[in-house]
């Protein structure tokens, strides 16, 4: 009959070996995971900035289209220009020749903001 080795003695011998082998492995896994998380966070931040810049450009284009089309035409969202009846604009037919209509400029959220 072979000698019986108590399990705690096996643990006393194997624990230091497992510590030497597993500690660098676990450390590498954690280090890699943290690096991946930081890269994903950086990419998400850059994507958010790009979307914000794109939204600001579109808003500026829409404001510019409204300013240039302020003489009785309204710029639609898809870039098409639509004529607006004078009743809807609030103009009267008896405006004098010397009077010019000033364009209405609407404030757009997010235009000109700097982060």
pLDDT tens, residue by residue, 55-97:
999 999 999 998 887 754 554 545 555 555 555 455 444 555 5
Residue 89 domain-assigned (yes or no)? no
pLDDT tens for each residue of 97-114 = 555 666 566 655 555 555
Task: Tell me which residue of 68, 57, 66 sits closest to 112, measured CA to CA.
Answer: 57
Task: Give the predicted TM-score (pTM) of the model.
Answer: 0.44
Short-list 89, 55, 98, 54, CA closest to 69:
89
Which structural domain, as residue segments, surrounds residue 48?
7-84
What is the per-residue pLDDT across 20-61, written as a single tens digit (0 to 9) for each? 999 999 999 999 999 999 999 999 999 999 999 999 999 999
Residue 112 lies in a domain: no
Please choose, from the candidates 102, 101, 113, 107, the residue with its C-alpha nearest in 3D space to the C-alpha of residue 62: 107
Residues 111 and 63 sit within 8 Å (Cβ to Cβ): yes
In a domain, 99, yes or no: no
CB-based contact 74:104 (threshold 8 Å): no
CA gap 64, 68 in Å, rounded: 6
Alpha helices in 1-115 (DSSP H): 7-68, 86-89
- Spatial separation of the C-alpha atoms in residues 109 and 92, rounded to whole Å: 31
30 in a structural domain: yes
Domain count, the chain: 1
Q: Could you tell me if residue 58 is inside a domain?
A: yes
Rg (CA), the chain: 35
Q: Is residue 110 part of a domain?
A: no
Q: Is residue 103 part of a domain?
A: no
Within a domain: 105: no
């Amino acid at each position: 009959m072979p000698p019986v080795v108590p399990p705690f003695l096996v643990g006393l011998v194997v624990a230091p070996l497992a510590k030497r082998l597993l500690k660098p492995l676990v450390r590498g896994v954690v280090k890699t995971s943290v690096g991946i998380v930081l890269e994903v966070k950086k990419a998400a931040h850059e994507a958010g900035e790009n979307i914000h810049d794109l939204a600001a450009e579109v808003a500026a284009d829409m404001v510019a289209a409204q300013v240039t089309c302020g003489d009785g035409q309204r710029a639609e969202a898809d870039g098409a220009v639509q004529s607006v009846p004078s009743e809807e604009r609030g103009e009267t037919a008896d405006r004098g020749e010397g009077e010019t209509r000033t364009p209405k400029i609407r404030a757009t959220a997010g235009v000109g903001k700097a982060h």
